[in-house]
Chains A and B, each alone.
Chain A
Amino acid sequence: MTVDFHSLRRGDRLPPTLLSVGAAEVRAYLAATGEPEERWTAIAPPLALGAWAIAALLAEMPLPQGAVHSAQEFEFLAPVPIGSVVSVTLQVVQQSVRQGTNIVVFEAELGAGATALRGRATVAAPLPVALEAAAR
């Protein structure tokens, strides 16, 4: 079951997920971003982990119409070896409404035991009532 973005409130937690950090996935990420593949043969590119943590969020919570990923913070705390399986936890740490826009800040933690990456994503989306008004 997916989560409705506009129903989220501070303190809400999304179901934890497991993420396999495979060599093929790393190569596909590097091919897409254009970063040299030979740099990352033993550990995963940290921003790839961040991208996959965001993907875990999107899997639980499809973004509503007009949503914008407006800001992002990352702390890369420890390298993650390719071949690892890590867990991803997601929590709402801020939620507010300003001028018809719902602003939600998610905190993600990723790791196997110890946290290897912590990230905060700010997502802003117009409230449905604001979208309706704009369409009139």
Chain B
Amino acid sequence: MSAPPVVAPVTRRIDQARVEAYAHAARDWNPIHTDRAAAAAGPFGQPVAHGMLVLALVSDAMTAAFGERWAAGGTLKVRWRAPALQPVDVTAVVTLRRCEGGVATYDVSCHNAAGEQLLSGTATVPWDDAAP
């Protein structure tokens, strides 16, 4: 098997319409995401995008590179670093850290257009680097 692929970045605008569509699709109606008045009293003072919606860009990038291998053996481990205050242009960046022991490990992060990191962590995918 060849070296693990380079994973292309994914950029997407997250605005209130997308957040509300995600709230419906993910069944997560926490008012911190969808209710301006309730969010104003919350820890961020305004509505924030769902963390899982931001994380979806990472999964999008991994799926583009690995297809169903991602759904049947991938792992993710992330910590959210800052709120995604919509509207926001988010970019997911996935960088190969190492490939050993049959596993490709990537550093993952998402940042906004100002370069502020919104989440960071790691992703792994089974990858037999010793196979021909």
Interface-facing stretch out of A31-39, A92-100, A102-110: A31-39
Contact assessment for A51 and B26 in the assembled complex, using a CB-CB cutoff below 8 Å: yes
Taking the closest CB of chain B, its distance from the CB of A84, in whole angstroms, is 13
Q: Which residue of B lies closest to A125 (CB)?
A: B43
Mark contacts of A1-30 with chain B using CB atoms, 8 A cut-off: 1 yes-contact digit, 0 otherwise.
Answer: 000000000000000000000000100110
Question: How far apart are the CA atoms of A59 and B28 in the complex, in Å?
Answer: 9
Contact assessment for A33 and B27 in the assembled complex, using a CB-CB cutoff below 8 Å: no
Mark contacts of A55-87 with chain B using CB atoms, 8 A cut-off: 1 yes-contact digit, 0 otherwise.
Answer: 100110001011111111111111110000000
Contact assessment for A58 and B52 in the assembled complex, using a CB-CB cutoff below 8 Å: no
Known: A32-B25, A75-B75, A77-B72. A45 touches B52 (CB 8 A): no
Contact assessment for A74 and B76 in the assembled complex, using a CB-CB cutoff below 8 Å: yes
Known: A34-B18, A66-B43, A73-B76. A43 touches B25 (CB 8 A): no
Tell me the B3-32 residues at the A interface (CB within 8 Å): 12, 18, 21-22, 24-28, 30
The verdict on B78 contacting chain A, using a C-beta distance below 8 Å, is yes
Question: How far apart are the CA atoms of A65 and B41 in the complex, in Å?
Answer: 9
Taking the closest CB of chain A, its distance from the CB of B42, in whole angstroms, is 6
Known: A34-B60, A46-B59. A74 touches B26 (CB 8 A): no
Contact assessment for B25 and A47 in the assembled complex, using a CB-CB cutoff below 8 Å: no
Q: Which residue of B lies closest to A58 (CB)?
A: B28
Q: How many A-B residue pairs have CB under 8 A?
A: 110
Question: How far apart are the CA atoms of A35 and B25 in the complex, in Å?
Answer: 13
Interface-facing stretch out of B63-71, B93-101, B110-118: B63-71
Interface size class of B (residues with CB under 8 A): 35 or more
Contact assessment for A25 and B25 in the assembled complex, using a CB-CB cutoff below 8 Å: yes
Taking the closest CB of chain B, its distance from the CB of A93, in whole angstroms, is 15
Contact assessment for B59 and A66 in the assembled complex, using a CB-CB cutoff below 8 Å: no
Indicate which residue in A32, A34, A72 contacts B26 across the interface (CB closer than 8 Å): A32
Indicate which residue in A71, A74, A76 contacts B72 across the interface (CB closer than 8 Å): A76
Question: How far apart are the CA atoms of A69 and B26 in the complex, in Å?
Answer: 15
Taking the closest CB of chain B, its distance from the CB of A92, in whole angstroms, is 19
- Which residues of chain A have C-beta atoms less than 8 A from B73's C-beta? 76-77
Contact assessment for B21 and A46 in the assembled complex, using a CB-CB cutoff below 8 Å: no
The verdict on A111 contacting chain B, using a C-beta distance below 8 Å, is no
Contact assessment for A47 and B55 in the assembled complex, using a CB-CB cutoff below 8 Å: yes
**What are the 6 A-B residue pairs with the smallest beta carbon separation, nearest first?**
A55-B27, A32-B21, A33-B56, A51-B26, A47-B59, A32-B22
Q: Chain A: residues with CB nearer than 8 A to chain B?
A: 25, 28-29, 31-35, 39, 43-48, 50-52, 54-55, 58-59, 63, 65-80
